[in-house]
Structure 1
């Protein structure tokens, strides 16, 4: 299991409850943390693996796919091109696509992002999404307002800011 993270993605977008927020737009900072099964990276230094090749390597060491926690797909063609990790470029593009779609609530937006990531990758165990809206129009000085959503099982290593 590994955590793949993108922190500090910056977007100018049109999200907010009030119409003027959706017209004028605002700056946002997005952080995404993805827990994914990455055991296949031990057998290939690539984003994708052929499970037949991995199985041959395992047999040479008297091991099986089951022993490393990998199940074959019901669709054999998927096993020829199985993700070994989560491509963070793809995560960025999924986030970018969601940020382009205006929403009234930031809560809706972070839920949509988390769902899009978990739906896209087969090996994702959990996702945490945190979105900061910089200098929200509240009539006073506020650095940011933020919302967070999680899907599935997620463990985030905490590092100093």
Structure 2
């Protein structure tokens, strides 16, 4: 089993339940881990035999552009797209963190984790 991961990918996006969150935006962090069995001999040094973490990052970028009320919805969309593009993935775990969520007190981040 091989694991490919991205940690702390930063995005500025407009996700949030409250209307003002969808206007002023916020900073988000994404951690994603994809576990899989290689699709061929890794000694062949071919991208087709693995999960391309640059492509995984592009998936995150694209999905973060679509404002949604719930970060759960954003996280699920990213996981679904990764699975569609890499059907050989055995496990995908994604954590999406919203920094400084609108609370009455100081909160570093809120987060949701989805594992497929």
Taking only aligned residues, the RMSD between alpha carbons, in angstroms, comes to 1.1
Out of 130, 149, 159, the position equivalent to 2:95 is 130
Q: How does 1:9-158 map to 2 (within 5 A)?
A: 9-38=9-38, 40-47=40-47, 83-151=48-116
Using structure 2 for the length normalisation, give the TM-score: 0.95
Structure 2 Cα separation of the partners of residues 32 and 41 of structure 1: 24
Runs of 4 or more, structure 1, over 6 Å off, are: none
Name the SS of the counterpart of 2:20 in structure 1: helix
Q: Tell me, yes or no, if the aligned pair for 1:6 and 1:88 is still in contact at 8 Å.
A: yes
**Which protein is richer in strand relative to its size?**
2
Structure 1, gaps ≥5 residues long: 48-82, 152-161
Q: Which has the larger radius of gyration?
A: 1
Looking at structure 2, the residues matched to 131 and 102 of structure 1 have their Cα atoms a distance apart, in angstroms, of 14
After TM superposition, give the deviation of residue 40 of structure 1 in Å.
1.6
Q: What stretches of structure 2 of length at least 5 have no aligned partner?
A: none
The TM-score with structure 1 as length reference comes to 0.69
